[in-house]
Amino acid sequence: MRNLRFYIAIFAGNMVRFLLKLLRKDATSAPGKIALKIYPDILKEIDKRCKLKIFISGTNGKTTTNNLIHWLINDDKIVLSNLKGSNMANGLVGAFLNNIKKSYDVGCFEVDEGSLPRVTMHLKPDIFVTTNIFRDQLDRYGELDRVKDLILSHINGALALINADDPNLASYNGEKKFYYSVDENALSRLANVTLDSRFCPICNNQLEYTFYNVGHLGKYVCNRCGYKNPESRFVITGIKNEDGNFIFDFVDRESGITIQNIRWRTGGIYNLYNVCAAMSVGVLLGIETNKIKERVETFINRLGRMEEIKIGDKKVVISLVKNPVGMTETLKTIAEDPYPKAIIFILNDNAADGKDVSWIWDADFDILSEIKDIRSLFFGGKRKEDIALRVKYSSFELKNFEFIDFEKDLKKVISLTEAYKIYILPTYTALFKTKKIIESLKKH
């Protein structure tokens, strides 16, 4: 009977996927939801079929890290992975329906922080990568302490790969763990406005920072109890920034492995944390260093995380924004770009975005004043007026801007603007619609 229900679940899930594809809809979650409804133990079946399971969880960077790990290992291993960012239980099952095999060498999954209790009940990770903890969708996840507990309490004896530069994650007290970090570089800052966490997780004293890389990620020490960054096994160091791209070295201090002069083609210092985590997994899995370097340098992010798409003589850059640190770091990355540009903010408040959009008031929009040559500014989405108001209350002088219906007007905006680069910053539910529109424009 169990086998029969399993096969009915597979059949029904794939039928839903087929119908959604016919309707040109995304089929990353609904097929898995149907299959789980019919056969709730399907996650256990995935667990049995994967010889090694890697989880990636945290607030920002899950999708990029997951895709990069997959890119490192997928040419000589059979890998099951949810590569499109659908990271709840439905999405993991949907990825299985899309790639059914009797066994996999590796199951590599990004897992939504709030879904960890349900997923880890059935799927047991062998390696657990933690990215960072930032304030995000407070109406859904709650404050940092709750997110920290959700992540650290579900590592469940797996080998933990912990971001040493995040003081909350670095307090993890499990025995099986390695740390990774990103060294000080030209983009590091001595002060930072967008700080989600500034107190010692041990004694609650205010932490002192030597530098900040991203939000509260950086080099810290507590002058009361002595809590500080733990020694990292894996480090990205020697970082140079060339035209928005990075050249850096990766060091494994335990084995003595050093991979030099790695070129990473996507902007944003936050991406170096994703790269460091993925390369650390690569080393732990025994992948040759030459191959790790080659795969990192050829990785292309196609999922709306500083994703570049050429349309005619213009470059469109799509970057998901969903919380204060993510918005602030994206604006800082744009500030490094000297080319004439247009910026399109798209703010929705659907369930998957978080109903509460008050987070925009915690992001540092004063950075807009540092961005050179903004030719045009547009606001779209269900809460376009809110984000325009937020910009108006920044130090940026908001004069020439336009409200748009992005689903109808993106084509016109891109064709008419004088800018060479068009940055589109959508929240989650606007991301996939934006990508479809831009990819359609590219074909024509």
Residues in the chain, total: 444
d(CA 373, CA 356): 32
- The Cα–Cα gap between 232 and 229 comes to 8
Other beta carbons within 10 angstroms of residue 95's beta carbon come to 23
285 in Cβ contact with 252 (< 8 Å): no
Per DSSP, helices labelled H in 74-131 are 89-97, 116-120
> Does 108 belong to an annotated binding site?
no
Element (H, E) at 406: helix 406-416
Please give the sequence-ordered ranges of beta strands (E in DSSP) within 141-221, or none if there are none: 159-163, 177-182, 208-214, 217-221
H helices of 134-264, in order, are 138-141, 144-152
Strand ranges, E, within 216-337: 217-221, 234-242, 245-252, 257-264, 305-311, 314-319
Which two structure tokens, joined as six digits, stand for 348? 């929705």
If you compute the radius of gyration of the chain from its CA atoms, what whole number of angstroms results? Answer: 22
Cβ neighbours for 98, distance < 8 A, ≥ 6 positions apart: 17, 31
**At residue 79, what is the residue type?**
V
Q: What is the 8-class DSSP label of residue 368?
A: G
Query: Is position 356 annotated as part of the catalytic site?
Result: yes
- DSSP character for 230? P
- 50 has binding-site annotation: no
Q: To which residue do tokens 């009940």 refer?
A: 121
Of 356, 366, 405, 409, the active-site residue reads 356
Q: Residue 7: what are its φ and ψ, rounded to 5°?
A: -70, -35
User: Where do the H-state alpha helices sit in 142-231?
Assistant: 144-152
d(CA 169, CA 281): 18
Q: How far is CA 333 from CA 266, 306, 325, in A?
A: 10, 9, 12
Is the CA virtual torsion 421, 426, 428, 433 positive or negative? negative
Residue 203 is labelled as binding a ligand: yes
The H or E element containing residue 423 is strand 421-426
Cα 175 from Cα 336, distance rounded (Å): 41
Binding residues: 200, 203, 222, 225
Looking at the annotation, which residues are catalytic? 356
Binding residues for Zn(2+): 200, 203, 222, 225
